[in-house]
A and B are shown apart, each in its own frame.
Chain A
Amino acid sequence: MKICLVALLLTSCAYSQTIERAEALWKARQYDAARNIFEALVKAQPDNPDYKARYGRLLLERFNPVEAAGLFQEAVKIKKDHAGALLGLALVSADGFESKAGDLARAALASDPKLFEAQELLARLALEDNNPTKAVEEADKALAISPKALDAMAIRAAIDLMADKTDSPWIGRILALDPKYGEAYETIGYFFVLNRRYEEGIEFYRKAIALKPDLWSAHSQLGINLMRLGIDQEAREQLEIAFNNGHTDKPTTNTLNLMESYKNFLTFKTDNTILRLHKKEAELLRPYFESELKRAIATFEKKYKIKLDRPVQVEVYPDHEDFAVRTMGMPGLGALGVTFGYVVAMDSPSGRKPGSFHWDSTMWHELSHVFVLSATKHKVPRWFTEGMAVHEETAASPDWGDRLDPQAIGAVKEKKLLPVAELDRGFIHPTYPSQVVVSYFQAGRICDYINKVWGYDKLLAMMHDFGRGMSTPDVIEKQLGMKPEEFDKKFLASLTEETKRTVDGFAEWPKKVKALSALARENKHDDVIREGLAIRDLYRDYVEAGSVYEFLAEAYLAKGDKTRAIVELARYSEIGGRDPVLVKKLATLLEEAGRKKEAAAALTRLNWIYPNDEELHRRLGDLHMANGTPEAAIVEFRAAVAMKPHDTATARFNLARALKDSGKEDEAKEELLLALETAPGFRPAQRMLLELSKEEKIRK
Chain B
Amino acid sequence: MAAAAEMGSSVKRLFILGMIAAGLNATTFYVTVAGLGGEPEYEQRFSGWAKDIDKALKAAPDSKVDTLFGEAATKPAIRGVLDRIAKEAKPEDAVVVMLIGHGTFDGADYKINLPGPDLTAIELAGLLDRLPAKRQLVVNMTSASGGAIDALRKESRVIVSATKTGTERNATVFARYWAEALHDPAADSDKNETVSALEAFRYADLKTVLFYTTQKRIATEHALLEDTGKGEGVRAPSTENGQGLLASAFPLLRLGSNATAARDPEKLKLLAQKEQLEQQIDRLKYQKAAMPLEDYKKQLGVLLLNLAKTQAELDK
Task: Point out residues on A near B: beta carbons under 8 Å.
Answer: 350, 352-354, 612-613, 645-650, 673, 676-683, 685-687, 689-690, 693
| Contact present for A650 and B186 (CB under 8 Å) | yes
| Contact present for A681 and B300 (CB under 8 Å) | no
Q: What residues of B have a CB within 8 angstroms of the CB of A650 in the complex?
A: 186, 191
> Chain B nearest CB: distance from A699 CB in Å?
16
Between-chain CB contacts (< 8 Å), 25 pairs: A612-B214, A646-B199, A647-B186, A647-B188, A647-B189, A650-B191, A673-B297, A673-B301, A676-B307, A676-B308, A677-B285, A678-B189, A680-B277, A681-B191, A681-B193, A681-B311, A683-B311, A683-B315, A685-B191, A686-B307, A686-B311, A689-B305, A690-B305, A690-B309, A693-B305
A353 in contact with B308 given A646-B203, A647-B186, A679-B3 (CB within 8 Å): no
A679 in contact with B192 given A646-B186, A646-B202, A673-B300 (CB within 8 Å): yes
| Contact present for A678 and B214 (CB under 8 Å) | no
**Complex-state Cα separation, A319 to B300, whole angstroms:** 40
| B312 to A, closest residue via Cβ | A690
Q: What residues of A have a CB within 8 angstroms of the CB of B309 in the complex?
A: 690
| Contact present for A681 and B307 (CB under 8 Å) | yes
A679 in contact with B216 given A673-B297, A673-B300, A690-B308 (CB within 8 Å): no
Within 8 A of A (CB), among B187-209: 187-193, 199, 202-203, 206-207
Q: What residues of A have a CB within 8 angstroms of the CB of B216 in the complex?
A: 352-353
Q: Which 9 residue pairs across A and B have the least CB separation, nearest first?
A: A682-B191, A686-B308, A647-B186, A679-B191, A679-B190, A676-B304, A681-B192, A646-B203, A353-B216
A687 in contact with B308 given A353-B214, A681-B190 (CB within 8 Å): yes
| Contact present for A645 and B186 (CB under 8 Å) | yes
| Contact present for B307 and A680 (CB under 8 Å) | yes
Q: What residues of A have a CB within 8 angstroms of the CB of B297 in the complex?
A: 673
Using an 8 Å CB-CB cutoff, how does the interface string of B283-316 with A read, 1 for contact, 0 for none?
Answer: 0010000000000010011001101110110010
Within the complex, which residue of B189, B193, B305, B311 is in contact with A646, where a contact is CB–CB below 8 Å?
A: B189
> Chain B nearest CB: distance from A619 CB in Å?
13
Q: What residues of B have a CB within 8 angstroms of the CB of A678 in the complex?
A: 3, 189-190
| A353 to B, closest residue via Cβ | B216
| A644 to B, closest residue via Cβ | B206
Additional A-B contact list (7), CB under 8 Å, known A649-B191, A686-B308: A354-B214, A649-B189, A650-B191, A677-B304, A681-B190, A686-B311, A687-B308
Q: What residues of A have a CB within 8 angstroms of the CB of B241 in the complex?
A: none
**Complex-state Cα separation, A472 to B315, whole angstroms:** 78
Within the complex, which residue of B207, B213, B278 is in contact with A680, where a contact is CB–CB below 8 Å?
A: B278
> Chain A nearest CB: distance from B312 CB in Å?
6
Q: What residues of A have a CB within 8 angstroms of the CB of B281 in the complex?
A: 680
Q: What residues of A have a CB within 8 angstroms of the CB of B3 in the complex?
A: 678-679
Within the complex, which residue of B203, B206, B304 is in contact with A689, where a contact is CB–CB below 8 Å?
A: B304
Within the complex, which residue of A354, A645, A673, A683 is in contact with B304, where a contact is CB–CB below 8 Å?
A: A673
Q: What residues of B have a CB within 8 angstroms of the CB of A677 in the complex?
A: 285, 300, 304
Range of interface residues on B (Cβ < 8 Å): 20 to 34
**Complex-state Cα separation, A685 to B192, whole angstroms:** 12
| Contact present for B189 and A679 (CB under 8 Å) | yes
Q: What residues of B have a CB within 8 angstroms of the CB of A613 in the complex?
A: 214
> Chain B nearest CB: distance from A657 CB in Å?
15
| Contact present for A686 and B312 (CB under 8 Å) | yes
| Contact present for B191 and A683 (CB under 8 Å) | yes
A649 in contact with B190 given A353-B215, A679-B3, A683-B311 (CB within 8 Å): yes
**Complex-state Cα separation, A464 to B198, whole angstroms:** 64
> Chain B nearest CB: distance from A406 CB in Å?
23
Q: What residues of A have a CB within 8 angstroms of the CB of B305 in the complex?
A: 689-690, 693
Interface centre among B190, B277, B308, B311 (most CB of A within 10 A): B308
Within 8 A of A (CB), among B254-270: none
> Chain A nearest CB: distance from B184 CB in Å?
8
**Complex-state Cα separation, A649 to B203, whole angstroms:** 14
**Complex-state Cα separation, A648 to B2, whole angstroms:** 12
> Chain B nearest CB: distance from A606 CB in Å?
13
**Complex-state Cα separation, A275 to B245, whole angstroms:** 42
Q: What residues of A have a CB within 8 angstroms of the CB of B214 in the complex?
A: 353-354, 612-613
Using an 8 Å CB-CB cutoff, how does the interface string of B19-46 with A read, 1 for contact, 0 for none?
Answer: 0000000000000000000000000000
| B207 to A, closest residue via Cβ | A646
Q: What residues of B have a CB within 8 angstroms of the CB of A352 in the complex?
A: 216
Q: What residues of B have a CB within 8 angstroms of the CB of A648 in the complex?
A: 189
**Complex-state Cα separation, A76 to B202, whole angstroms:** 61
| B214 to A, closest residue via Cβ | A354
**Complex-state Cα separation, A678 to B214, whole angstroms:** 27
| A672 to B, closest residue via Cβ | B304
**Complex-state Cα separation, A693 to B202, whole angstroms:** 33
**Complex-state Cα separation, A686 to B192, whole angstroms:** 12
| Contact present for A689 and B186 (CB under 8 Å) | no
| B192 to A, closest residue via Cβ | A681
Q: What residues of B have a CB within 8 angstroms of the CB of A679 in the complex?
A: 3, 189-192
Q: What residues of A have a CB within 8 angstroms of the CB of B215 in the complex?
A: 353
Q: What residues of B have a CB within 8 angstroms of the CB of A681 in the complex?
A: 190-193, 278, 307, 311
| Contact present for A689 and B308 (CB under 8 Å) | yes
| B202 to A, closest residue via Cβ | A646
Using an 8 Å CB-CB cutoff, how does the interface string of B154-189 with A read, 1 for contact, 0 for none?
Answer: 000000000000000000000000000000001111
Interface centre among A350, A649, A677 (most CB of B within 10 A): A677
| A614 to B, closest residue via Cβ | B210
**Complex-state Cα separation, A676 to B297, whole angstroms:** 12
Q: What residues of B have a CB within 8 angstroms of the CB of A682 in the complex?
A: 190-191
**Complex-state Cα separation, A353 to B191, whole angstroms:** 33
> Chain A nearest CB: distance from B213 CB in Å?
8
| A693 to B, closest residue via Cβ | B305
Q: What residues of A have a CB within 8 angstroms of the CB of B186 in the complex?
A: 645-647, 650
Interface centre among A350, A352, A648, A686 (most CB of B within 10 A): A686
> Chain A nearest CB: distance from B47 CB in Å?
21
Q: What residues of A have a CB within 8 angstroms of the CB of B189 in the complex?
A: 646-649, 678-679
> Chain A nearest CB: distance from B2 CB in Å?
11
**Complex-state Cα separation, A690 to B313, whole angstroms:** 12
> Chain A nearest CB: distance from B40 CB in Å?
14
| A351 to B, closest residue via Cβ | B216
> Chain B nearest CB: distance from A97 CB in Å?
27
Q: What residues of B have a CB within 8 angstroms of the CB of A353 in the complex?
A: 214-216
**Complex-state Cα separation, A685 to B305, whole angstroms:** 10
| A649 to B, closest residue via Cβ | B191
> Chain A nearest CB: distance from B25 CB in Å?
21
> Chain A nearest CB: distance from B163 CB in Å?
21
> Chain A nearest CB: distance from B244 CB in Å?
14
**Complex-state Cα separation, A631 to B80, whole angstroms:** 59
> Chain A nearest CB: distance from B314 CB in Å?
10
**Complex-state Cα separation, A687 to B193, whole angstroms:** 16
> Chain B nearest CB: distance from A618 CB in Å?
9
